[in-house]
Amino acid sequence: MLKEISRKNAVHIMLVYTGGCNGCDIEVVNAVMSPFYDLEQYKVMLTWNPREADILAVTGPVTRKMEPALKEIYAAIPEPKLVAAIGTCAIIGGPYANLGGDLGSSDQIVGGVNKVIPVDAYIPGCPPRPEDILQAVASVIPILAGKR
Amino acid sequence: MKRMIVFMFKGAYNNLGRILFANERKTSIPMRNKIATGQITYPKVVNENACIGCSACANICPVDAIHMEDLEEPVEITKDYVKEKHPVFDPMKCMYCFQCHDSCPIFAFYGKPAAIHPRHVGEFDVNLAELLQQPIVMKDDKEFEAVISLLDEKARNLLKEGS
Amino acid sequence: MMDWIDFAITTVCIPIVAFVVSTWLPGIMRKIQARIQLRIGPPVLTPGFWAFFKFLYKERIRPVSPMPRLYHSLPVIGIFLMFFIILLTTPAWETVLTLGTLVAIAGLMKVEEMLYLFMGNLSKSILSVRMPYPDQVKGAVMKGKVRRFFEQVAVVRTFKLISIGSFPLYIGLFVPAVMYGSIGIMAVASAQGFDPATFVLRDLFSLDPLIFTVPGAIGAIAYFAGYLVILNEYPFSIMHTKADVVEGPTLEYAAWARAGYYLMREVTIFVMSSVFVTLYFGIPPMIGWALIPHIILVMLLPVGAAIVSAFTPVLTFKQVYPLSLGFSALGVIGLIVAML
Amino acid sequence: MADTDRKDRAEVEVPMGMVHSALLEPFRIRLFVDDEVVVDAEITYDTAHRGIERIMEGMPIQKGLILTERICGICSHIHIWNGTRMVERGLGIDVPQRAHHIRVIGNELERLHSHLLYLGHAFEILGHETFSMRCFMVREPVQNILFVLSGNRVHYTIPVLGGIRPRADISHEKRQTMFSMIDKLETDLREFAARVLNDPFIVSRIKEIGYLSKEDAVKYGALGPNMRASGIDFDWRYKLPEYRDHFDFEVIVRDGGTVLDRVACRVFECLESIKIIRQALETLPDEDPTNVDFELGAMGYSTSYNEAARGEIYDSCALDEVGRIRSYINRTPSMSSLSAMEVSCIGDHLTDASITIASCDPCLTCTNRMTVVDEKKGTNYVMEPEDVLRLARRV
Ligand code: SF4
Ligand code: SF4
Ligand code: SF4
Ligand code: SF4
Ligand code: SF4
Ligand code: SF4
Ligand code: SF4
C-alpha cells in the first residue's frame, strides 16, 4: 500500500547516452530542464547516480565501447527498475544498424538497447519530442509501482 | 551602486511574486493536461489529400515501417485514376532514412512537398488532378525507371502516360 | 518525578515531530526553487517524504565498499546525532541532564561533519575508476599514477570544509554565549525572556529575541552562511557538486541506506535550523505551546537557503575561502559587539 | 623539461566518465591532479564511434547525405548542408538563391540553439540550475521556429541536392510567424544576456580560468568561437559567397581567451545570428527553391568548408559513375577544439576543469575516430601513436 503510493509519488530517472547523435539526448535534457516541459511536475526527478535511480533512460544505439558500461550501470540499479529506450536508435539501432553501402551496416554498433539489457518502454521518434518523452515516462510509473 | 540596489529590489519583488503566487510561470498547462490524460499524439506524417496512394513509400521502406491499407471509400482523383489505399506508418519501426519521402512521386516527379514525411508532414494543399496532368520533369531515364518501378501498376501507367 | 515524565515524553515526541516536519522541508525548498525557475516543480511531499519511503522498499543491495556494514550504519549514526542535538536543546532534558551547552552542540556537529569523511572513504562507485573503460592503454603522459575515486576527492574537500568552511557556523553559535555570558542553552533562552514553565502564546510578544540586536543580527548572518556549508547547499556544495564528484561520499547508498541518508539530510536541515531558533529567537523546542512558533520559525532558514541556492552557482575553494573568511570576520565583529 | 616537472608533481589521477553528470555525452576524461589542481588532462572519445563514414561507402549520395545529418543532433543542418554543398560544388549544380537563403536561415537558427544549449549546459555544470533553466526557456522558441520551418525540432533535413526540401520552404504565413517569433526571442535573449554577464557570482566563477593563449589556440587547433575568444579573427562565413555577398554582420572576436570570453563570444554571436536571420527573411527572393535540372555522375574529389556553430567543418568525398559515395570524410570542430581544452584546463581547480572542458562546447558524436577491433581476442582499443609506429616498423 505505502509501497505503491510512495513509488508512484517519487521516481528518479537516470540518463545514459550510449552513442547516439545527441538529438535524443538534447530532447531528454529539454524535457527535464526546460520550464516549459518540466519533468519534475510529474514527480520524476533527475539523478546521475545509478544507486538512486528507478528508471534508466537510454538514448542512442549501443556502441561496442558502451556495451559493458551500460550493463554495469544497469546492474548497479536496485530493483525495481525500468528501462526506457528513447529514439529509434535505441529501439532498433537506427540508420547505423539498418543502412549500409558496400560494406554493409556498421559493425561498431551492437544494436538497439534491447540487445544488451531488457527494455520496458519504447519511445519512437528521431528524436522524440519532449512531450512524447514526458508522456511515456508518466505512463510507465504505474508499472514501476506494481513491481514486486 | 544605485543601479545595483534598484536591481536587487526589483528582483526581490519579482521573485516574491513568483514564489508566492507562481507569477510568470512558463510550464505549459495544456500540455500537462494532455499528458495527464494520455492524449499526446504522434505528429502527422501523411498528408492524405496530397497522397495518390501509389505504394511507392511502402515498397521502398527498408524496415517495413509502412504498409498500405485499403480506403473505405476510394477517392476519385482524375477520371481514370481512383485512389484505393493509403499508407499507414509505424513509428516504432521507422529509422527516418527519408527514402519514403524521397521516392514519393509527388516529390520525386513534381518537386512539391511529398505526401509523406517521416517527421511532420506539415499543412499544405495540392491539387492532385492538376498535378497529374503536368509533364514529369526528370532527365535521367534510369532514375525514372527506378522510381517508377516502386509504384503500383495503376499509378505506373498513369505517370507514364503523363510524362 | 514530574521532570522525568516530561523527559520521557519529550524524548519520544520531539524526534517524531522532527521526523514529520523535516520530511516536508526538502519539498518546500524544491517548490520554492521551482517557482523561482518559473515552473511547477514536484509536489511538496515528493522529494522528502515519498522518496524516503520509496527507497525503504527498494531491493537491498550490497554496496561496493571495503566495509559495507560500517558504510551503511553511518547515516543512522548521523540521524541519532541530530536527534540528540535537538533533544539537548529542550527544556525537559536541560532540567534532568543539564548537558545542553553550546560546546556540546558544536562538538556533535563536528562529529556529524566527520561522518562524510568516513562515507567518502568507504564508497567505491561505478562512476569513476570502476567504469569499464580501457584507460591504461591510452596515451596519457602520466601513466600509473594513483587512481582516485570521486568520493575520495570529495573527502579531501570535506576535510577542507570542516577545517575552515564551517567556521562561521561555530562563531554564529557562540555569539549568544558571549552576549549573555553563558554557554548553557537554557540560560541563553531565558536571557531572552523565555520561561518554559509558564510559556503561553501571548508571551511571544514580550520576548526579547537576540536576532533583533546588532550583534545578534550579525551572528545570524554568520550562522546562516555556516548553515549552508554544513548542508552542502549551493553555493557551498563543492563536496557534492555535480560538475565533478556527482554526489560525492553518498554515491553508493541504495535502498534503505539511501532512505537513511535522505532522512539524515532532512533532519540536519531541521535541527540546524531549530538550534538557530532556540538561540536567536529564544524559543526552544518543547512539548507545549512553544512548539508552534518554534516550527514556524524553523522554516526561515531552509526557505532562505532555498532562495540563496537558486541564485548561486557552486563555488570553488577560490571563492569559498574568502567568503568563509569574510563571514567569519563578520561573526567575529558580532562577537566583539556582543562583548561591548 | 616542463613536462617532467609536471610529471613529478602529479599525485593522483581522477578519471571521469563515460557516464557523468557534467559530460552528458559518453567520453572519458582523466585529470591528473596535484592536490586539486589539474596538472595534466587526457580526453578520450571513442565511445560513440558508429562508423558512419564507413557505412556511407557505396551508398547513393542522396541517401548518404541524409545520414550525414545523423552524425549529430546539434550540428545537424550544417552537416547535411556542407555535404550537399560539397557535391554541388563538385558537380557544378546551380542552386537558386532562395534555397541559399533558407539554408542560411537554418544554419543561423542552429547556431542560436547550439549556443543557447551550450550556455544551458555551462550553467548546469556551474551548478546554477535556475539560469540553466532560463537558457532552455530562451531556447524553446528557437526550437519552435525550427519546427515551424521544417517539421522537426532537431533533424530538419532542409537541404537536398539542388536546393531545399519543399517541406522547409518558407511560405508567406510561415515568414510572418517566424518574424514575430524572432522578435520575441531577441528581447528575451538581450534581457537574459545582460542579466548573466552582470551576475557577480557567475562572473567570479568563469573569469580567469581556462586560459587559452592565441599561440596555443593555433597550435592545438581550437576552432570557431573558441578560437575567436582567443583573439583570432577567422570565420568561414566571411569567405562563403552564401553569406559574404548577401548579409551584413559582424564576427565577434575577443582577446581574453578565458571561459568568460568564450561564453561572452557566444552570447554576442547569438545576437548577430538573429540579425542575419532577419535579413535573410526580409530579402528572401521569390523563386522556385529547388533546381532539379542536373545529372548525377562521376565526381572527382570535392571538398567544402563551412562555419558550424562550433567552428570549422569540412567534408569531402568522390562519387562513382552512378553517383555512389567513395571515401567520404567529415571533420568536425569538436575534434580539434577538445585537444585545445586539454591544455587550457591545466593549472585550474578540478571543478573549474570541467567547466573549462565544457566551455569549448565538446560534443562527441562526430569526434570518434579510429578504433581497432581485434576480432579474435574480442577486444578493441584506440590506436595510439606508438601502435601506429609499431605497425609501421613491422611492415
Ligand atoms: S534516434 Fe535520431 S535523434 Fe535519436 S540518437 Fe538516433 S539519430 Fe539521433
Ligand atoms: S526495396 Fe530494397 S531494401 Fe526495400 S525491401 Fe525491397 S529490396 Fe529490400
Ligand atoms: S523514413 Fe522510415 S518509413 Fe520512411 S523509408 Fe525510412 S524507415 Fe521507412
Ligand atoms: S509514395 Fe507518396 S503518394 Fe505514394 S502512397 Fe506513399 S505517400 Fe502516397
Ligand atoms: S568518426 Fe564520427 S562521424 Fe565518422 S564514423 Fe565515426 S562517429 Fe561517425
Ligand atoms: S586525423 Fe582525423 S580528420 Fe584527419 S584524416 Fe585522420 S581521421 Fe581524418
Ligand atoms: S561539433 Fe560535432 S558533436 Fe558537436 S554539435 Fe557539431 S557535429 Fe555535433
Cα D87 to the chain's mean position, in Å? 21
In this structure, which ligand is nearest to the CA of B89? Answer: 3
Copy the grid coordinates of residue D118: 551550450
Torsion over CA: C44, C46, C50, C55 (sign): negative
* pLDDT class of D5 with cuts at 50, 70, 90: low
Give domain status of residue D361, yes or no: no
What proportion of chain C, given as a percentage, has pLDDT over 70? 98
Amino acid letter, A141: I
- Cell 592503454 identifies what position? C137
The domain ranges of chain B are: 2-36, 56-162
Domain ranges, residue C266:
2-129+147-339
Give domain status of residue D123, yes or no: yes
Give domain status of residue D66, yes or no: yes
What is the residue with the minimal CA distance to atom 7 of ligand 5? D49
Give residue D363's pLDDT: 63
Domain identity same for D371 and D276: no
Copy the grid coordinates of residue B122: 506539415
Per-residue model confidence as pLDDT tens digits over C37-95:
999 989 999 999 999 999 998 988 888 899 999 999 999 999 999 999 999 888 888 88
* Interface mutation target, options C31, C35, C44, chain B, most CBs of B under 10 Å: C35
Inter-chain touch A73–C126, beta carbons under 8 Å: yes
Taking only Cα atoms into account, the Rg of chain A, rounded to an integer number of angstroms, comes to: 15
* pLDDT class of D364 with cuts at 50, 70, 90: low
* pLDDT class of D391 with cuts at 50, 70, 90: very low
Chain B / chain D CB contacts < 8 angstroms:
49
CATH number at residue D134: 1.10.645.10
How crowded is residue D292: how many other Cβ atoms within 10 Å of its Cβ? 17
Inter-chain touch A35–C39, beta carbons under 8 Å: yes
Domain ranges, residue A36:
18-140
- Closest among C204, C214, C319, C291 to C21, alpha carbons compared: C291
CATH number at residue A78: 3.40.50.12280
What proportion of chain D, given as a percentage, has pLDDT over 90? 35
Taking only Cα atoms into account, the Rg of chain C, rounded to an integer number of angstroms, comes to: 21
* Interface mutation target, options A40, A141, A148, chain C, most CBs of C under 10 Å: A40
* pLDDT class of A135 with cuts at 50, 70, 90: very high
* pLDDT class of D1 with cuts at 50, 70, 90: very low
Q: How many domains does chain D contain in total?
A: 2
Give residue C304's pLDDT: 94
Q: Is the CB of A130 under 6 A from ligand 1?
A: no
Give domain status of residue D83, yes or no: yes
Per-residue model confidence as pLDDT tens digits over C146-193:
888 888 889 988 888 888 888 888 899 889 888 888 888 888 888 888
Domain identity same for D41 and D62: no
Strands D12-16 and A11-17: unpaired
Domain identity same for D10 and D101: no
Q: Measured between CA atoms, how close is B150 to chain D, in angstroms? A: 17
Q: Is the CB of D331 under 6 A from ligand 6?
A: yes
Give residue D110's pLDDT: 93
How crowded is residue C67: how many other Cβ atoms within 10 Å of its Cβ? 12
CA of D359 to the centre of ligand 7 (A): 14
CA-based end-to-end distance of chain D: 33
Cα-flanking dihedrals φ and ψ of residue C124, to 5°? Answer: -130, 80
Give residue B14's pLDDT: 87
Give residue C81's pLDDT: 92
Comparing D294 with D263, the larger pLDDT belongs to D263
Chain D's closest residue to A23, CA to CA, is D73
Inter-chain touch C314–D202, beta carbons under 8 Å: no
Q: Measured between CA atoms, how close is A26 to chain D, in angstroms? A: 8
CA of A127 to the centre of ligand 7 (A): 16
Give residue D9's pLDDT: 67
Instruction: Please calculate the CA angle D33-D34-D39 and round it to the nearest 5 degrees.
Output: 55
CA of D206 to the centre of ligand 4 (A): 54
Interface of D with C in 71-130 (CB under 8 A): 123-130
Give domain status of residue D320, yes or no: yes
Tell me: pLDDT of D370 over 70: no
Comparing C30 with B152, the larger pLDDT belongs to C30
Give residue D40's pLDDT: 85
- pLDDT-wise least confident of C262-276, D104-118, D268-282, D324-338: D324-338
Pocket of ligand 4 (CB under 6 A): B 46, 51-57, 87, 104-106, 114-116
- Give whole-number Cα distances, C296 to C192, C270, C281, in Å: 18, 11, 12
Give domain status of residue C140, yes or no: no
Query: What is the average per-residue pLDDT within D28-41?
Result: 85
For residue C316, give the nearest of D15, D352, D382 by CB distance: D352
Contacting residues of B for C299, CB less than 8 Å apart: none
How crowded is residue D329: how many other Cβ atoms within 10 Å of its Cβ? 11
Give domain status of residue C267, yes or no: yes
Tell me: pLDDT of D384 over 70: no
Tell me: pLDDT of D367 over 60: no
Q: Is the CB of D78 under 6 A from ligand 7?
A: no
Tell me: pLDDT of D279 over 90: yes
Give domain status of residue C163, yes or no: yes
Q: How many domains does chain C contain in total?
A: 1
Query: DSSP labels for B133-148?
Result: HSPP----HHHHHHHH
CA distance D203 to D196: 8
Tell me: pLDDT of B94 over 50: yes
The answer for residues whose C-beta is within 8 angstroms of residue C198's C-beta and 6 or more apart is: none
Q: Is the CB of A19 under 6 A from ligand 1?
A: no
Q: Measured between CA atoms, how close is C37 to chain D, in angstroms? A: 5
- Coil, strand or helix at D330: strand
Query: What is the average per-residue pLDDT within D152-178?
Result: 91
* pLDDT class of B162 with cuts at 50, 70, 90: low
Tell me: pLDDT of D393 over 50: no
Interface of C with A in 47-76 (CB under 8 A): 47, 50-54, 56-61, 63
What proportion of chain C, given as a percentage, has pLDDT over 90? 40
Query: What is the average per-residue pLDDT within C195-210?
Result: 83
CA distance D361 to D224: 10
* pLDDT class of D369 with cuts at 50, 70, 90: very low
Tell me: pLDDT of D87 over 90: yes
Q: Identify which of A15, A18, A24 to mutate to test ligand 1's pocket (most ligand atoms within 8 A of the CB).
A: A24
The answer for residues whose C-beta is within 8 angstroms of residue B71's C-beta and 6 or more apart is: B53, B83, B84, B85, B86
For residue A131, give the nearest of B26, B40, B97 by CB distance: B40
Contacting residues of A for C253, CB less than 8 Å apart: 51-52
For residue D130, give the nearest of C241, C243, C310 by CB distance: C310
Strands A55-59 and A11-17: parallel
Per-residue model confidence as pLDDT tens digits over D184-201:
999 999 999 988 888 888
Please compute, for residue D245, the number of CA atoms within 13 A of its CA located in the half-sphere on the CB side: 6
Contacting residues of C for A6, CB less than 8 Å apart: 50-54, 56-57
Query: What is the average per-residue pLDDT within A64-77?
Result: 91
Is-cis flag, bond preceding A127, omega within 30?
Answer: yes
CB D242 within 8 A of CB D222: no
Domain ranges, residue D28:
4-45+366-393
